[in-house]
Amino acid sequence: MSSSENLQPGERTMLLDTAAMYFRAFYGVPDTVKAPDGAPVNAVRGLLDAIAKLVTTYRPTRLIACWDDDWRPAWRVDLIPSYKTHRVVELVPSGPDVEEVPDLLSPQVPVIVEALTALGIPIVGATGYEADDVIGTLATTASGPVDIVTSDRDLFQLVDDDRGIRVINTARGMSNIELVTDAVVEQRYGITARQYADFATLRGDPSDGLPGVAGIGEKTAATLLREYVDLEGLVAAAADPSSSLTKSQRAKIDAAADYLLVAPTVVKVARDLDLDLDDSDGRLRGLDDEARATVAALAERWGLGSSVDRVVTALEGAADA
Protein backbone atom coordinates (compact mmCIF):
# COMPACT_ATOMS: atom_id res chain seq x y z
CA MET A 1 0.00 0.00 0.00
CA SER A 2 1.24 3.50 -0.71
CA SER A 3 1.98 5.86 2.15
CA SER A 4 -1.15 7.86 1.44
CA GLU A 5 -4.40 7.25 -0.32
CA ASN A 6 -3.99 10.26 -2.64
CA LEU A 7 -7.58 11.32 -2.30
CA GLN A 8 -8.68 14.24 -4.43
CA PRO A 9 -10.43 17.27 -2.89
CA GLY A 10 -14.00 16.46 -1.97
CA GLU A 11 -13.37 12.73 -1.71
CA ARG A 12 -14.09 10.64 1.37
CA THR A 13 -13.17 7.10 2.32
CA MET A 14 -15.64 4.90 4.22
CA LEU A 15 -14.17 2.02 6.23
CA LEU A 16 -16.52 -0.75 7.35
CA ASP A 17 -15.95 -2.73 10.54
CA THR A 18 -17.46 -5.61 8.63
CA ALA A 19 -17.82 -8.33 11.26
CA ALA A 20 -19.35 -5.90 13.75
CA MET A 21 -21.83 -4.91 11.06
CA TYR A 22 -22.86 -8.40 10.02
CA PHE A 23 -23.23 -9.55 13.64
CA ARG A 24 -25.59 -6.63 14.28
CA ALA A 25 -27.41 -7.34 11.02
CA PHE A 26 -27.87 -10.96 12.07
CA TYR A 27 -29.51 -9.96 15.34
CA GLY A 28 -31.42 -7.06 13.79
CA VAL A 29 -33.10 -8.92 10.93
CA PRO A 30 -35.35 -11.93 11.66
CA ASP A 31 -33.82 -15.31 10.82
CA THR A 32 -37.01 -16.10 8.96
CA VAL A 33 -35.47 -14.19 6.05
CA LYS A 34 -34.22 -17.06 3.89
CA ALA A 35 -32.91 -17.95 0.46
CA PRO A 36 -35.11 -19.95 -1.95
CA ASP A 37 -33.50 -23.17 -0.66
CA GLY A 38 -34.31 -22.24 2.95
CA ALA A 39 -30.81 -21.13 3.95
CA PRO A 40 -30.78 -18.11 6.30
CA VAL A 41 -29.69 -14.84 4.67
CA ASN A 42 -30.81 -12.32 7.28
CA ALA A 43 -27.26 -11.16 8.03
CA VAL A 44 -26.46 -10.86 4.32
CA ARG A 45 -29.53 -8.80 3.57
CA GLY A 46 -29.15 -6.70 6.70
CA LEU A 47 -25.54 -5.89 5.86
CA LEU A 48 -26.35 -4.95 2.27
CA ASP A 49 -29.23 -2.74 3.41
CA ALA A 50 -26.94 -1.05 5.94
CA ILE A 51 -24.31 -0.38 3.27
CA ALA A 52 -26.97 1.03 0.94
CA LYS A 53 -28.17 3.42 3.62
CA LEU A 54 -24.65 4.49 4.63
CA VAL A 55 -23.52 5.14 1.07
CA THR A 56 -26.70 7.04 0.23
CA THR A 57 -26.47 9.18 3.37
CA TYR A 58 -22.74 9.93 3.55
CA ARG A 59 -21.71 9.69 -0.13
CA PRO A 60 -18.22 8.20 0.15
CA THR A 61 -16.03 8.04 -2.92
CA ARG A 62 -14.14 4.98 -1.64
CA LEU A 63 -15.59 2.06 0.27
CA ILE A 64 -13.52 -0.67 1.93
CA ALA A 65 -14.71 -3.67 3.94
CA CYS A 66 -12.16 -4.20 6.71
CA TRP A 67 -11.84 -7.80 7.85
CA ASP A 68 -10.74 -9.78 10.91
CA ASP A 69 -8.09 -12.11 9.52
CA ASP A 70 -7.47 -12.92 13.19
CA TRP A 71 -10.15 -11.77 15.63
CA ARG A 72 -7.96 -12.64 18.67
CA PRO A 73 -4.30 -12.18 17.69
CA ALA A 74 -1.82 -14.31 19.63
CA TRP A 75 0.42 -11.33 20.30
CA ARG A 76 -2.41 -9.57 22.12
CA VAL A 77 -3.29 -12.73 24.07
CA ASP A 78 0.38 -13.19 25.04
CA LEU A 79 0.28 -9.76 26.66
CA ILE A 80 -3.17 -10.11 28.27
CA PRO A 81 -4.30 -13.77 28.42
CA SER A 82 -7.89 -12.79 29.25
CA TYR A 83 -8.24 -10.90 25.97
CA LYS A 84 -11.60 -11.97 24.44
CA THR A 85 -11.40 -15.30 26.30
CA HIS A 86 -15.14 -15.43 26.90
CA ARG A 87 -15.78 -15.50 23.15
CA VAL A 88 -13.54 -18.49 22.43
CA VAL A 89 -15.20 -21.77 21.43
CA GLU A 90 -12.03 -23.64 20.55
CA LEU A 91 -8.37 -22.85 21.18
CA VAL A 92 -6.22 -23.49 18.11
CA PRO A 93 -2.48 -23.72 18.88
CA SER A 94 -1.55 -22.57 15.39
CA GLY A 95 -4.29 -19.88 15.52
CA PRO A 96 -6.58 -18.17 14.96
CA ASP A 97 -8.85 -19.43 17.75
CA VAL A 98 -12.44 -20.29 16.89
CA GLU A 99 -14.87 -17.52 17.86
CA GLU A 100 -18.36 -18.15 19.15
CA VAL A 101 -20.63 -17.46 16.19
CA PRO A 102 -24.35 -18.33 16.01
CA ASP A 103 -25.00 -21.49 14.00
CA LEU A 104 -27.26 -19.63 11.57
CA LEU A 105 -24.67 -16.89 10.99
CA SER A 106 -21.59 -18.99 10.18
CA PRO A 107 -22.82 -20.20 6.76
CA GLN A 108 -23.74 -16.65 5.79
CA VAL A 109 -20.20 -15.30 6.07
CA PRO A 110 -19.03 -16.86 2.76
CA VAL A 111 -22.11 -15.42 1.08
CA ILE A 112 -21.24 -12.00 2.48
CA VAL A 113 -17.73 -12.35 1.04
CA GLU A 114 -19.22 -13.38 -2.32
CA ALA A 115 -21.63 -10.44 -2.32
CA LEU A 116 -19.04 -7.81 -1.41
CA THR A 117 -16.67 -9.16 -4.03
CA ALA A 118 -19.35 -9.16 -6.72
CA LEU A 119 -20.22 -5.56 -5.87
CA GLY A 120 -16.59 -4.51 -6.22
CA ILE A 121 -16.14 -3.65 -2.54
CA PRO A 122 -12.60 -4.73 -1.59
CA ILE A 123 -12.23 -6.90 1.51
CA VAL A 124 -9.01 -6.00 3.30
CA GLY A 125 -7.47 -7.91 6.18
CA ALA A 126 -3.98 -8.56 7.53
CA THR A 127 -2.56 -11.82 8.83
CA GLY A 128 -2.36 -11.76 12.62
CA TYR A 129 -4.44 -8.59 12.97
CA GLU A 130 -8.02 -7.52 13.59
CA ALA A 131 -10.22 -5.33 11.43
CA ASP A 132 -9.64 -2.54 13.97
CA ASP A 133 -5.94 -2.57 13.03
CA VAL A 134 -6.74 -2.44 9.32
CA ILE A 135 -9.07 0.49 10.00
CA GLY A 136 -6.42 2.19 12.12
CA THR A 137 -3.85 1.90 9.35
CA LEU A 138 -6.15 3.05 6.55
CA ALA A 139 -7.48 5.98 8.58
CA THR A 140 -3.99 7.05 9.62
CA THR A 141 -2.51 6.87 6.12
CA ALA A 142 -5.44 8.53 4.36
CA SER A 143 -4.81 12.00 3.02
CA GLY A 144 -8.49 12.92 3.02
CA PRO A 145 -11.57 12.61 5.25
CA VAL A 146 -12.52 9.19 6.60
CA ASP A 147 -15.77 7.75 7.95
CA ILE A 148 -15.35 4.68 10.17
CA VAL A 149 -18.52 2.60 10.44
CA THR A 150 -18.58 0.58 13.65
CA SER A 151 -20.45 -0.16 16.85
CA ASP A 152 -17.14 -0.58 18.71
CA ARG A 153 -16.21 2.37 20.88
CA ASP A 154 -12.54 1.29 20.87
CA LEU A 155 -12.27 3.00 17.49
CA PHE A 156 -13.09 6.35 19.06
CA GLN A 157 -9.31 6.60 19.55
CA LEU A 158 -9.03 7.34 15.81
CA VAL A 159 -11.37 10.33 15.78
CA ASP A 160 -9.58 13.46 14.62
CA ASP A 161 -11.49 16.57 13.56
CA ASP A 162 -8.36 18.19 12.13
CA ARG A 163 -7.98 15.32 9.67
CA GLY A 164 -11.69 14.80 9.06
CA ILE A 165 -11.77 11.35 10.70
CA ARG A 166 -15.04 10.55 12.41
CA VAL A 167 -16.88 7.44 13.59
CA ILE A 168 -20.33 6.58 12.30
CA ASN A 169 -21.48 4.81 15.43
CA THR A 170 -24.12 2.14 14.77
CA ALA A 171 -24.30 0.83 18.36
CA ARG A 172 -27.91 1.99 18.69
CA GLY A 173 -28.96 0.66 15.30
CA MET A 174 -29.10 1.94 11.74
CA SER A 175 -32.11 4.12 12.52
CA ASN A 176 -30.27 5.90 15.33
CA ILE A 177 -26.79 6.54 13.96
CA GLU A 178 -24.46 8.84 15.89
CA LEU A 179 -21.62 10.82 14.29
CA VAL A 180 -18.72 10.77 16.74
CA THR A 181 -16.37 13.74 16.56
CA ASP A 182 -13.83 15.21 18.97
CA ALA A 183 -16.59 17.20 20.64
CA VAL A 184 -18.73 14.09 21.21
CA VAL A 185 -15.85 12.20 22.82
CA GLU A 186 -14.99 15.13 25.06
CA GLN A 187 -18.61 15.73 26.07
CA ARG A 188 -19.29 12.07 26.83
CA TYR A 189 -16.06 11.08 28.54
CA GLY A 190 -14.34 14.30 29.56
CA ILE A 191 -11.20 13.48 27.57
CA THR A 192 -9.87 14.04 24.06
CA ALA A 193 -10.10 11.35 21.40
CA ARG A 194 -6.30 11.08 21.51
CA GLN A 195 -6.60 10.05 25.16
CA TYR A 196 -9.29 7.46 24.52
CA ALA A 197 -6.99 4.41 24.31
CA ASP A 198 -5.35 5.31 27.63
CA PHE A 199 -8.80 5.96 29.10
CA ALA A 200 -10.00 2.52 27.93
CA THR A 201 -6.87 0.92 29.38
CA LEU A 202 -7.54 2.42 32.81
CA ARG A 203 -11.28 1.76 32.77
CA GLY A 204 -11.06 -1.72 31.30
CA ASP A 205 -13.64 -3.40 29.08
CA PRO A 206 -15.31 -6.68 30.10
CA SER A 207 -16.53 -7.21 26.53
CA ASP A 208 -12.89 -7.55 25.44
CA GLY A 209 -11.61 -9.24 28.59
CA LEU A 210 -9.59 -6.18 29.63
CA PRO A 211 -9.50 -5.95 33.45
CA GLY A 212 -8.54 -2.30 33.73
CA VAL A 213 -7.09 -0.86 36.91
CA ALA A 214 -9.01 -2.11 39.94
CA GLY A 215 -10.88 0.71 41.65
CA ILE A 216 -10.60 3.16 38.74
CA GLY A 217 -13.79 3.75 36.79
CA GLU A 218 -14.64 6.13 33.97
CA LYS A 219 -14.88 9.30 36.03
CA THR A 220 -11.62 8.74 37.88
CA ALA A 221 -9.83 7.70 34.70
CA ALA A 222 -10.95 10.88 32.95
CA THR A 223 -9.93 13.04 35.91
CA LEU A 224 -6.47 11.48 36.04
CA LEU A 225 -5.91 11.87 32.30
CA ARG A 226 -7.00 15.49 32.36
CA GLU A 227 -4.34 16.13 34.99
CA TYR A 228 -1.53 13.87 33.78
CA VAL A 229 -2.32 13.82 30.02
CA ASP A 230 -1.46 10.17 29.34
CA LEU A 231 -0.55 6.87 30.99
CA GLU A 232 3.14 7.66 30.88
CA GLY A 233 2.53 10.83 32.85
CA LEU A 234 0.24 9.04 35.28
CA VAL A 235 2.69 6.21 35.97
CA ALA A 236 5.46 8.77 36.48
CA ALA A 237 3.26 10.64 38.94
CA ALA A 238 2.61 7.43 40.88
CA ALA A 239 6.36 7.03 41.30
CA ASP A 240 6.79 10.65 42.41
CA PRO A 241 6.08 11.16 46.12
CA SER A 242 5.53 14.87 45.50
CA SER A 243 2.75 14.39 42.92
CA SER A 244 -0.84 15.29 43.73
CA LEU A 245 -2.07 11.68 43.52
CA THR A 246 -3.81 10.51 46.63
CA LYS A 247 -2.38 7.60 48.60
CA SER A 248 -5.25 5.41 47.37
CA GLN A 249 -4.77 6.37 43.73
CA ARG A 250 -1.03 5.78 43.97
CA ALA A 251 -1.62 2.33 45.44
CA LYS A 252 -4.05 1.39 42.66
CA ILE A 253 -1.63 2.46 39.94
CA ASP A 254 1.26 0.65 41.62
CA ALA A 255 -0.79 -2.54 41.99
CA ALA A 256 -1.58 -2.49 38.28
CA ALA A 257 2.00 -1.80 37.18
CA ASP A 258 2.39 -5.06 35.23
CA TYR A 259 -0.95 -4.59 33.48
CA LEU A 260 -0.21 -0.97 32.57
CA LEU A 261 3.09 -2.04 31.07
CA VAL A 262 1.44 -4.19 28.42
CA ALA A 263 -2.19 -3.06 28.12
CA PRO A 264 -1.58 0.01 25.94
CA THR A 265 -0.10 -2.22 23.23
CA VAL A 266 -3.24 -4.37 23.30
CA VAL A 267 -5.73 -1.50 23.39
CA LYS A 268 -4.16 0.78 20.79
CA VAL A 269 -4.97 -0.16 17.21
CA ALA A 270 -2.14 -0.69 14.77
CA ARG A 271 -1.55 2.19 12.41
CA ASP A 272 1.31 0.97 10.24
CA LEU A 273 0.35 -2.35 8.67
CA ASP A 274 1.64 -3.23 5.23
CA LEU A 275 -1.64 -3.72 3.39
CA ASP A 276 -2.03 -5.02 -0.13
CA LEU A 277 -4.13 -2.14 -1.37
CA ASP A 278 -3.79 0.19 -4.33
CA ASP A 279 -4.91 3.81 -4.35
CA SER A 280 -7.63 2.93 -6.85
CA ASP A 281 -9.06 0.05 -4.80
CA GLY A 282 -12.49 0.76 -3.41
CA ARG A 283 -13.23 3.78 -5.59
CA LEU A 284 -16.92 3.71 -6.34
CA ARG A 285 -17.78 3.24 -9.98
CA GLY A 286 -20.64 1.79 -11.94
CA LEU A 287 -20.87 -1.96 -12.50
CA ASP A 288 -19.85 -3.23 -15.91
CA ASP A 289 -21.99 -5.80 -17.74
CA GLU A 290 -20.05 -8.78 -16.37
CA ALA A 291 -20.29 -7.54 -12.78
CA ARG A 292 -23.97 -6.76 -13.22
CA ALA A 293 -24.62 -10.31 -14.42
CA THR A 294 -22.67 -11.78 -11.50
CA VAL A 295 -24.61 -9.67 -9.01
CA ALA A 296 -27.93 -10.63 -10.60
CA ALA A 297 -27.08 -14.34 -10.43
CA LEU A 298 -26.03 -13.96 -6.80
CA ALA A 299 -29.24 -12.15 -5.94
CA GLU A 300 -31.33 -14.89 -7.56
CA ARG A 301 -29.36 -17.74 -5.97
CA TRP A 302 -29.68 -16.35 -2.44
CA GLY A 303 -32.95 -14.47 -2.71
CA LEU A 304 -31.34 -11.09 -2.05
CA GLY A 305 -33.60 -9.20 -4.47
CA SER A 306 -34.43 -5.77 -3.13
CA SER A 307 -31.35 -5.61 -0.87
CA VAL A 308 -29.06 -6.02 -3.88
CA ASP A 309 -31.11 -3.52 -5.87
CA ARG A 310 -30.77 -0.94 -3.11
CA VAL A 311 -27.04 -1.36 -2.64
CA VAL A 312 -26.34 -1.28 -6.40
CA THR A 313 -28.42 1.88 -6.74
CA ALA A 314 -26.59 3.47 -3.80
CA LEU A 315 -23.11 2.56 -5.07
CA GLU A 316 -23.81 3.78 -8.60
CA GLY A 317 -25.46 6.93 -7.33
CA ALA A 318 -22.41 7.77 -5.24
CA ALA A 319 -20.12 6.99 -8.15
CA ASP A 320 -22.01 9.41 -10.39
CA ALA A 321 -22.05 12.23 -7.83
Pairing of strands 88-90, 98-99: antiparallel
Which pLDDT score, from 0 to 100, does residue 321 have? Answer: 67
pLDDT recorded at residue 6: 40
Q: 179 by DSSP, 3-state: which?
A: strand
The whole-number mean pLDDT for each consecutive block of 10 residues of the chain, a chain of 321 residues, reads: 41 96 96 96 98 96 96 95 90 81 95 97 96 97 94 97 97 95 98 98 94 96 97 96 94 96 97 89 91 96 96 90 67
pTM to 2 decimal places? 0.93
Q: Which of 171, 180, 83 is nearest to 139 (CA)?
A: 180
Looking at residue 4, its pLDDT comes to 35
Across the beta sheet with 146-150, what order do the strands follow?
123-124, 62-66, 13-17, 146-150, 165-169, 178-180
**What is residue 143's predicted lDDT score, i.e. its pLDDT?**
81
